[in-house]
Amino acid sequence: MIAAFAAAFYYWPSLKGIFLKTNTVEFVSSYQISNLSCSFQNSCAQISFTFNSTQKALSQVPTYQIKETPEEAKTEIIFNNVTEISDNFTYEQVINNPLIEDISYEQVNDAFILTVKRKGNLVPAQVTIQGNIATIKLPEDGSGYPQFLELEPDDNSTVYPLLQKIKTKVILKDSLKKGLFYLNDADLPLQIKDLGNNEYYFEASEKLVTDQNYQVKTIAIDSQNRASVKIWEFDAQMALAKINLGDDRFKYLGWWGDINSTSTPVMSEPSNQSKQLDTFSTINRVKVLKEVYGESIDGNNLWLKIDGGKHPGTYIFSAFVTPIPQPEPPKNFSIPPEVKPGEYWIDTDLTKKILTLFQYDKPIFATYVAIGRPGNPTIEGTYRIWYKLLKTRMRGGPPVVQFFYDLPNVPYVMYYYKGYGLHGTYWHDKFGTRQSSGCTNLTQGDSKFLFEHLQPTLPDGKNSFLSNPDNPGSVIYNHY
């Protein structure tokens, strides 16, 4: 009896093993997926799935493989033996995720394949298991991964539909192994310029089509197989000839347009063979004084003579200028009580950045201006010009303003309150923005026009004049 019991006890481990093999396996042949979810937490994109097995198993999650394809900025996670998906996964769940461009999935021969198109640093994906929940993690942390700078064209900018250069600067910790460009998901041949110190320019050229939205995706992989992807977009704008500005577009000395491409050449004459004086980008706005015919480029020979800023009287090829809504005088306005019938005065709408010259109740002229930055705003209120100068030196710095400046020979200056004034500008072309230290910045042509109309009147031979009761200054009214 004792011997029989001992024998049974001796064989118990092997019997237990047989029981586990026949009733509980490590992985089963059929899993179901439900409760798909996506989130962005602690600088990490997380995609979770709940699995249900059809029978008892040691592992409640099936086997899986992770496939990384840096050349396509793509990660695939493949779960085996998945026979049913009882939930839907939509793009709206990841639309604001900074690390995910798109998600899709499919079933192929009982394999569930999740494909994630990624953004940012392509840090390898991780999968963590907790019970029957599998969570795919795409971390954001990636010190030493490639970085992208100086996008061209700018993100969310507009460019003319012709042959355009597409470019970005890449900075790496180690040497470059591979660089790629995709334009609307099509492979775009690129040139790589080695700048030294593991810095590179990726450049390509492409002929763009009118009224088309373009997405650029660039990928850089270094010698340590660290990869990063950058995605940006821009639009191809319709040609100037297709936009009707009206026959009266020069009624206020010219019409306004935005530069629609980075590295836009500013030429001394209406020809690419003339001297290039500068380049503008999409942060610049110009006033067109005259439309002229010049060198033909891709069948277009229209050039624009511009006022400025930095380069009044120079030329820009018309393809690089997009007309914008033109500045117009306010429809409803109040004449300051200080203004006498027949007098000229200024209304400046600080919200729209539009200045209007009135002769009492008649609008004479309207233009875009640059006003004070948020830290040094243009003051509101009603004032009179107290001092006019054909030109003067302007200097300033903290604590009055947040930066130092020293500008000699500022033209057509009209001070109306202490150091606040209207004047011409030769150091920027960012009109219609907050750009100044509190003054109202005008193009050089516009400032000359106003200087000639506003009081006090400079006596002959004088370069400056203080207003007085016999020669008072014009009224300046600034408001939001």
For the domain that residue 381 is a member of, what is the CATH number? 2.40.440.10
Domain range for 415 is: 344-479
- Rounded to whole angstroms, the Cα distance separating 388 from 379 reads 19
Residue where one domain finishes, among candidates 114, 139, 164: 139
Tell me if residue 439 falls in helix, strand or coil: coil
Same domain, 228 and 254: no
Domain-located, residue 21: no
Same domain, 160 and 285: no
- Rounded to whole angstroms, the Cα distance separating 73 from 77 reads 14
- Rounded to whole angstroms, the Cα distance separating 295 from 39 reads 55
CATH code: domain of residue 168: 2.60.40.1220
Burial bucket for residue 100 (CB in 10 Å: 0-12, 13-18, 19+): buried
Helices (H) and strands (E) in the chain, counts: 2, 38
Burial bucket for residue 230 (CB in 10 Å: 0-12, 13-18, 19+): buried
* pLDDT reported for residue 207: 86
Inter-residue contact 431 to 369 (CB < 8 Å) = yes
Domain-located, residue 337: no
What DSSP element (H or E) covers 453? helix 444-453
Same domain, 317 and 369: no
CATH code: domain of residue 316: 2.30.30.40
Domain-located, residue 9: no
* pLDDT reported for residue 237: 67
Domain-located, residue 23: no
Residue where one domain finishes, among candidates 215, 236, 257: 236
Same domain, 349 and 417: yes
Domain-located, residue 11: no
Q: For residue 449, what are its two tokens?
A: 């026009």
* pTM, 2 dp: 0.54
Q: For residue 282, what are its two tokens?
A: 């999409």
Tell me if residue 104 falls in helix, strand or coil: strand
Strands 434-436 and 371-372: parallel
- Rounded to whole angstroms, the Cα distance separating 122 from 226 reads 7
Same domain, 362 and 473: yes
Same domain, 155 and 84: no
Same domain, 103 and 152: no
Same domain, 117 and 215: no
- In the chain, how many domains are there? 4
The backbone torsions φ and ψ at residue 451, rounded to the nearest 5 degrees and listed phi first, read -55, -35
Beta-carbon-side half-sphere exposure of residue 479 (alpha carbons within 13 Å): 12
Same domain, 158 and 273: no
Domain-located, residue 223: yes
Domain-located, residue 217: yes
CA torsion sign for 269, 272, 278, 283 is: positive
Inter-residue contact 395 to 365 (CB < 8 Å) = no
List, for residues 259-272, the tens digit of each pLDDT value.
Answer: 988 889 999 999 99
Same domain, 258 and 287: yes
* pLDDT reported for residue 93: 60
Inter-residue contact 365 to 356 (CB < 8 Å) = yes
Same domain, 217 and 172: yes
Residue where one domain finishes, among candidates 139, 174, 198: 139
- Rounded to whole angstroms, the Cα distance separating 345 from 230 reads 51
Inter-residue contact 446 to 253 (CB < 8 Å) = yes
Nearest to 320 by CA among 336, 306, 330: 306
Domain-located, residue 18: no
Q: For residue 326, what are its two tokens?
A: 């033109």
pLDDT, mean of each 10-residue run, the chain (480 residues) = 38 39 72 84 88 84 94 94 79 71 87 92 93 91 89 81 86 94 93 95 88 91 95 75 73 94 94 96 94 84 93 95 93 95 97 97 97 92 97 83 83 97 96 94 98 96 95 97
Same domain, 164 and 68: no
